[in-house]
Amino acid sequence: MRRSSALAPLAVIALALALRAQNVWHVRSDALPGGDGSSWSSAFDSLDSALSAARASVAQDEIRIARGRYRPATRTNPADPRSATFLVPSGTKLQGGWNPFTNAPPPAGLAVATQLDGGLGSVGAAYHVVTIEMFNQPTDPRAELANLTVTHGRANGVASGDVDGGGVYLPAATSSVRLDTCLVVGNSAARDGGGLYAYCINVQLKWSRFADNQAGGSGGGAWVKASTFLSGTSFARNSATDGGGYVGLKPFIPTTAGTVHLRINGCRFKANEATNLGGAMHFPGTGINNAANYRILNCTFSDNQAGVAGGALSGPLGGVGWIINSILWGDSAPLDSELTLGIPVDYSIVDGPGVYPGSVGATNMNFDPLLNGDQSLASNTSPAIDASSGLFTPQDILDLDGDGITAEPLPLDMARAPRLVGNAMDLGAYEHP
């Protein structure tokens, strides 16, 4: 007894050190076979090997991936080659774009140098390029994907687990995920979340782009049921039945009435398409306790379209969302060309007749914002300039400038240029210089 009680504290200390330790693994597509991943000169030649090593260690692992193209090989169903996926243990950080010759991390904004590609040649495409697995990690459960392109996932299988989330898939997970500087492009799902399907605790989408993804159900770009932050992120040319770009649902964890579940600060949505509701975004659910409670600040929506209603956004009557300091212009639908009835919008430019709670003439305007093709402001005569309400200043919730401070006004616009020029922030996602 004395002996074991003397050893117990040592065991606790050893365990604590192991928990704090962080393994760093290296992956190069052109590495020689047999590497142990410990350095660039002995890098793993496959990402699957690094993910296996991360799963086997109790540490929070970081995987550095050299530039190149990587395809998944680990099958979740041994009999089905299309079940191959990059199976990421929760709590693991993957970062692409590394230069193995200089051991340099990727420059800011680089998302295309390292591609996770679901294309599997003659057998078709992986159902999910990346799967974040529920895995009992000892500390932070958040997985992070950084500086990666995720492409060519096709979640069009038969099993219920094979129809959502062609690009990144988090099913019913107690984990969380952050995408930082990722390009999610050209993925599809038979049901929900062509680019991203996330049913989990928390989702953060920072400096990322969702483009040309498609879903047969809802959320062509992303389908998210979680508490969520989006900042500096764009959705373009995604399509679905409902919510061409994005679908947001109330988290499954009970939250106090009035809790804001979804914050979207400084993002843009262009040319997304829904055959039914919500060209850019759709918020299902009805009533104050069942619909996602969202705040959309300084975002731009244009050229999105819906086949039935809500060219830019659709949401339930009695929902609790709020759109502020934003631009909604040139979106289209047979009914409610910008917003379905009941979505509050204030201090914004809204195209159309102005049947909105914050009615045109009070706090909204319906003057042409003079947008460029990339949704930046084309002219110093744009009515969007300096028109944001200082009562609703967007915060730097995902630390876009990387200074470690989130409790500050959004410092950068979509072009990574200073967010505050002149007397006030401009409406929408870009500041006119």
**Bridge-based pairing state of the strands 300-302 and 294-297:** unpaired
Residue 265: closest CA among 144, 80, 401, 157: 401
Distance CA 93, CA 55 (A): 12
Contacting residues toward Ca ion, per CB under 5 A: 54, 57, 61, 386, 396, 399, 401, 403, 405, 421-422, 426
Q: 389, 324 in Cβ contact below 8 A? A: yes
Which residue's Cβ has the minimum distance to Ca ion?
Answer: 422
CB 305 to Ca ion: min, Å = 29
Q: Count CB atoms within 10 A of the CB of residue 74.
A: 17
Nearer to Ca ion, 292 or 365 (CB): 365
Nearer to Ca ion, 151 or 231 (CB): 231
CB 403 to Ca ion: min, Å = 4
CB 263 to Ca ion: min, Å = 15
Distance CA 18, CA 60 (A): 10
Nearer to Ca ion, 284 or 394 (CB): 394
Distance CA 123, CA 69 (A): 18
CB 398 to Ca ion: min, Å = 9
Nearer to Ca ion, 368 or 386 (CB): 386
Residue 198: closest CA among 179, 230, 176, 220: 176
**Bridge-based pairing state of the strands 62-66 and 93-98:** parallel
Nearer to Ca ion, 287 or 422 (CB): 422
Residue 30: closest CA among 106, 100, 127, 132: 100
Nearer to Ca ion, 351 or 396 (CB): 396
CB 29 to Ca ion: min, Å = 22
CB 307 to Ca ion: min, Å = 36
Distance CA 191, CA 199 (A): 14
